[in-house]
């Protein structure tokens, strides 16, 4: 076959280019396989870390609440200790008014308990008194202790006028009340030794004085 002088050279160059390309391709395939193999081995060689929840932090058990035990009824325990009574409404017998020159007027009284219904009958039975109680009420006054509580600068008084036939107290003038307590004026207030009252203590002072109707 006739050839010119350049064909053999082009053919050799083309063959070398094919060989180089094949080598490069082989190297690429080998390198890629190596990398993939190494990655797989490396990944397989790492042991999975167990995901363990951290131990719960120590939590102190809630301390039991020291709630005050139910207060026994006043009938079972007698009168509160101490001279001063906490704020509230109390059943009393009024005995005197003191002070006023160098300090506030102070109301003197004897604390008692006004019971009705089953509580009244139980208290009467405990004391060997008639049951059921007459008129469905009982006044318990086991302790003759006298207490003093300041009168508020402005306070109200309600009473049941003697001979009025009323069962609900009406408003009284403070001057009239003080005159009755001091036995310095004639009034239509009831006798002190047979009348009973409710007093309201607010912020340590007496703010209301209301007579209790008794049939």
Judge whether 18 lies within some domain: no
For residue range 62-121, what is the model confidence (pLDDT) as tens digits? 444 434 333 334 454 467 877 889 999 999 999 999 987 778 999 999 999 999 999 999
The yes-or-no verdict on residue 53 having pLDDT over 60 is no
State pTM to two decimals.
0.64
Judge whether 86 lies within some domain: yes
C-alpha separations of 96 from 46, 66, 174, 195 in Å = 96, 41, 15, 13
Per mean pLDDT, which range of 54-63, 109-118, 126-135, 181-190 is the poorest? 54-63
The yes-or-no verdict on residue 204 having pLDDT over 90 is yes
Q: Which domain, by its residues, includes 92?
A: 81-211
Q: Looking at residue 102, what is its pLDDT?
A: 79
pLDDT band of 184, cuts 50, 70, 90: confident
The alpha carbon torsion through 97, 164, 88, 145 (nearest 10 deg) reads 50
Mean pLDDT (the chain) is 75
* Rounded average pLDDT over 156-185: 95
Q: Looking at residue 79, what is its pLDDT?
A: 73
Judge whether 116 lies within some domain: yes
* Rounded average pLDDT over 13-17: 45
* Rounded average pLDDT over 136-148: 94
Judge whether 88 lies within some domain: yes
Judge whether 63 lies within some domain: no
Q: How many CB atoms lie within 10 A of CB 128?
A: 7
What's the structural domain count of the chain?
1
The yes-or-no verdict on residue 12 having pLDDT over 80 is no
Judge whether 3 lies within some domain: no
- ∠ Cα 35 36 39 (to 5°): 85
- ∠ Cα 13 18 19 (to 5°): 95
Judge whether 181 lies within some domain: yes
Judge whether 187 lies within some domain: yes
């Amino acid at each position: 076959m006739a050839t010119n002088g350049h064909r053999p050279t082009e053919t050799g160059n083309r063959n070398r280019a094919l060989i180089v390309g094949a080598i490069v391709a082989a190297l690429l395939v080998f390198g890629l396989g190596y990398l993939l193999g190494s990655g797989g081995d490396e990944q397989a060689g790492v042991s999975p870390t167990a995901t363990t929840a951290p131990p719960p932090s120590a939590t102190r058990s809630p301390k039991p609440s020291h709630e005050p035990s139910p207060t026994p009824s006043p009938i079972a325990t007698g009168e509160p200790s101490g001279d001063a009574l906490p704020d509230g409404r109390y059943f009393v017998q009024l005995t005197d008014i003191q002070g006023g020159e160098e300090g506030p007027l102070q109301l003197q009284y004897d604390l008692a308990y006004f019971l009705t219904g089953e509580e009244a009958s139980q208290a009467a039975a405990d004391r060997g008194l008639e049951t059921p109680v007459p008129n469905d009420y009982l006044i318990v006054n086991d302790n003759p202790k006298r207490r003093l509580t300041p009168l508020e600068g402005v306070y109200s008084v309600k009473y049941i006028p003697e001979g009025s036939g009323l069962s609900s107290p009406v408003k009284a003038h403070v001057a009239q009340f003080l005159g009755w307590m001091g036995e310095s004026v004639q009034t239509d207030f009831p006798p002190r030794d047979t009348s009973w009252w409710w007093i309201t203590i607010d912020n340590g002072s007496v703010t209301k004085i209301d007579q209790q109707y008794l049939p």
